[in-house]
């Protein structure tokens, strides 16, 4: 009986639960019907991916080139890098250019891998992480949209347009199909859309997505190496300044931020792959 009385006294000391006042939430901005969590239909996504890439390429190449302004911006940017002591591009460009097989391989890497790897990661997300697919895909699309604003407002020439600074156009020199902005197909592309570097934006998106969600350690290692390799390629081929790469990282961060504001959901959340956790989880006390 004594134990029962003590038990009742303890319960009596617990304050009665009061309903929490309703708080106005600013986020997310979109209503629930416009931010579904289910995996979208495959046919719809295939059409959306193809249409989005086509629109992105069309708008990017239709942006006014403003050659004089683009050349001035490029000279100013390289001068800024000199003042910051990060003007490593000419040395890397000239050094790698002396190794023919390497620079030719990098030309093809620059021309193809950004599309192949990005689509591959989207397919992997769709199949293996359906609940992560919508927010990750939306963040990528928003990044592209923000980049288009940069192309329009800040036309900027790539380093290969400045032989006076020691840069070499590796595609023209080695006669490789390495860039839509060099050689015979230059007329079909906006040659002054170097800021931001979306090769870096897409590579970082791929690397971060795979690193956060993959289970195998060797796959996560490749996810870290891929953006680093892409950074080396865009500099060695003379297609981007280092600060162009920083611009690509910035627009990706903005893409993630806008996705969160619209949906109220983090792309990756706080959940890590199971292989990251301890193999001996702590026991819950009885």
| pLDDT at residue 12 greater than cutoff 80 | no
User: What DSSP character marks residue 185?
Assistant: G
Q: Give pTM, 2 decimals.
A: 0.80
Only one residue has tokens 């990750």, namely 136
Mean pLDDT of 8-34: 56
Q: Helix (H, G, I), strand (E, B), or coil: what is residue 193?
A: strand
Question: Is residue 247 a contact partner of residue 146, using CB atoms and an 8 Å limit?
Answer: no
| pLDDT at residue 199 greater than cutoff 80 | yes
Q: Is the model more confident about 98 or about 37?
A: 98
CA distance 127 to 136: 13
| pLDDT at residue 173 greater than cutoff 70 | yes
- Rounded to a whole number of angstroms, the distance between the first and last alpha carbons of the chain is 24
Mean pLDDT of 186-199: 79
pLDDT at 189: 65
| pLDDT at residue 76 greater than cutoff 70 | yes
Q: Give whichever of 27-36, 59-68, 82-91 has the largest mean pLDDT.
A: 82-91
Contacts of 284 (CB under 8 A, 6+ apart): none
CA distance 117 to 103: 20
| pLDDT at residue 85 greater than cutoff 90 | yes
- The mean pLDDT of the chain is 82
Q: Is the model more confident about 57 or about 21?
A: 57
Question: Long-range CB contacts (< 8 A, 24+ apart) of 144-149?
Answer: 144/52, 144/56, 144/198, 144/255, 145/255, 146/251, 146/254, 146/255, 146/258, 147/196, 147/198, 147/201, 147/248, 147/251, 148/56, 148/59, 148/60, 148/63
* Helix H or strand E encompassing 49: helix 42-62
CA distance 168 to 90: 8
pLDDT at 250: 97
Question: Is residue 252 a contact partner of residue 201, using CB atoms and an 8 Å limit?
Answer: yes
């Amino acid at each position: 009986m004594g134990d029962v009385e003590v038990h009742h006294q303890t319960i009596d000391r617990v304050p009665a639960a009061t309903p929490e006042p309703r708080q106005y939430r600013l986020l997310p901005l979109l209503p629930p019907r416009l931010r579904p969590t289910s995996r979208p239909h495959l046919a719809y996504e295939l059409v959306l991916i193809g249409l989005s890439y086509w629109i992105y390429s069309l708008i990017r190449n239709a942006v006014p080139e403003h050659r004089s302004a683009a050349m001035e911006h490029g000279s100013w940017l390289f001068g800024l890098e000199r003042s910051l002591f990060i003007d490593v591009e000419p040395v890397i460009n000239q050094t790698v250019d002396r190794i023919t097989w390497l620079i030719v391989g990098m030309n093809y890497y620059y021309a193809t891998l950004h599309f192949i790897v990005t689509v591959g990661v989207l397919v992997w997300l769709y199949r293996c992480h359906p609940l992560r697919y919508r927010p990750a895909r939306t963040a990528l699309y928003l990044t592209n949209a923000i980049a288009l604003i940069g192309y329009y407002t800040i036309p900027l020439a790539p380093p290969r347009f400045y032989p006076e600074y020691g840069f070499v156009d590796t595609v023209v020199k080695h006669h490789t199909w390495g860039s839509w902005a060099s050689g015979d197909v230059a007329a079909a592309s906006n040659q002054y859309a170097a800021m931001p570097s979306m090769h870096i934006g897409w590579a970082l998106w791929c690397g971060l997505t795979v690193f956060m969600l993959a289970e195998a350690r060797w796959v996560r290692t490749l996810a870290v190496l891929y953006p680093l390799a892409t950074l080396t390629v865009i500099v060695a081929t003379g297609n981007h300044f280092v600060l162009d790469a920083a611009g690509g990282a910035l627009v990706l961060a903005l893409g993630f931020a806008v996705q969160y504001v619209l949906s109220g959901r983090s792309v990756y959340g706080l959940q890590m792959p199971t292989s990251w956790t301890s193999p001996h989880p702590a026991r819950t006390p009885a």
